[in-house]
Amino acid sequence: MKGFRKFLYSQKTAPYVFVLPFILSFAIFWIYPLFSAIIMSFQDIGAISADWIGFANYQKLLKDKVFHTAMLNSAEYMLGTLLLLIPFPLLFAVLMDSRLVKAKGVWKALLYLPALTSVVISGTLFRLMFTEYPTGQMNVLTQMLGLGTFKWLKIKTTSMAALLIVCCWRWTGVNMLYFLSGLKAIDVSLYEAADIDGANGLQKFKFITIPLIKPTTIYVLTISIYAGLAMFLESYMLWAGNSSPNNIGLTIVGYLYKRGIEKNDMGYACAVGVVLMIIALTINVVQLVANGTFKSDKED
């Protein structure tokens, strides 16, 4: 017992003891499910048996038009979030970091508050807002403008706009705080030197802020790519289920849920999940290489 305590409290052992809970949880809840899903994607899983079928599930995916629709919807949603949730939160962060905005703490709290709201509640509220009935808030607004009423969640363009509005409402404040933390790390003396040299606000933003906030931008870009491709619950709540007209709101994760949970085809669902993982990893690796994240110090 004394020897075990000495071993446990030694300086060489202590670091491994502290990281052991993380390693165990990572192995049990991430590594093991990952390899299990990859193996299951090559199987036809029934109620009491699992038969090895090779690449049959992946071959089926190539011809599955519903999967292609879901993949296209997720790609459009991801691109929309990247176009909205990187430049605008950055501009808001710059404003918050300037002297132009008063009561900064209040604005930060108001912008971050939607992220704390349950997706179930917010999705239900936005579904009522975008309802096709004349009493819906969006139709009330369009009627005031003389545009009539719309079936917002039954049209491809307006339904994607509704999803993006929900996303921006929830995550603009979060991304703004990420950028704000990056701005706080920039040395103020750089801006003071730029003022002495006669640089205006736009020049300081272009030549100081943008380059020095690049690590934060890459981080926000990386998590936004994953979040865009993995979106499910917002769509599920907006259409009150996993069924939308002509699958205009179906995402890759939604299709995974449909095949794995609703139709009990776990092997095929795992194949969908593996493809999603490969797509997300590929896009992120490409953008990280393009942004120079993997460059060594010698290359720099």
* Per-residue pLDDT reduced to its tens digit, 154-171: 999 999 999 999 999 999
Question: Which sequence spans correspond to the domains of the chain?
Answer: 1-40, 41-290
Are residues 155 and 72 in contact, defined by beta-carbon separation less than 8 angstroms?
Answer: no
Q: Could you count the other beta carbons within 10 Å of the beta carbon of residue 82?
A: 16
pLDDT of residue 297: 53
Say what the pLDDT of residue 299 is: 54
Reference 127, options 225, 226, 229, 233; nearest CA is 233
The predicted-structure confidence for 6-54, as pLDDT tens digits, reads as follows 666 667 777 777 888 899 998 999 899 999 999 999 998 877 778 899 9
CB 199 within 8 A of CB 207: yes
Residue-wise pLDDT tens digits, 205-259? 889 999 999 999 999 999 999 999 999 999 999 998 888 899 999 999 999 999 9
Instruction: Return the ∠ at Cα 17 (arms to 13 and 20), rounded to 5°.
Output: 135
Looking only at Cα atoms, what is the longest distance across the chain?
83
pTM over 0.85: yes
pLDDT band at 108 (very low <50, low <70, confident <90, very high): confident
User: Phi and psi (nearest 5°) for 51?
Assistant: -105, 135
Q: Domain 41-290 class? A: mainly alpha
In this predicted structure, the answer to whether residue 264 has a pLDDT above a threshold of 70 is yes
Tell me how far apart the alpha carbons of residues 161 and 254 are, in angstroms, rounded to a whole number.
18
pLDDT score for 9: 64
30-35, Cβ contacts within 8 angstroms, sequence gap of 24 or more: 34/277
Q: Do 274 and 38 contact (CB within 8 A), yes or no? A: yes
Q: Which of 206, 209, 249, 202 is nearest to 77 (CA)?
A: 249
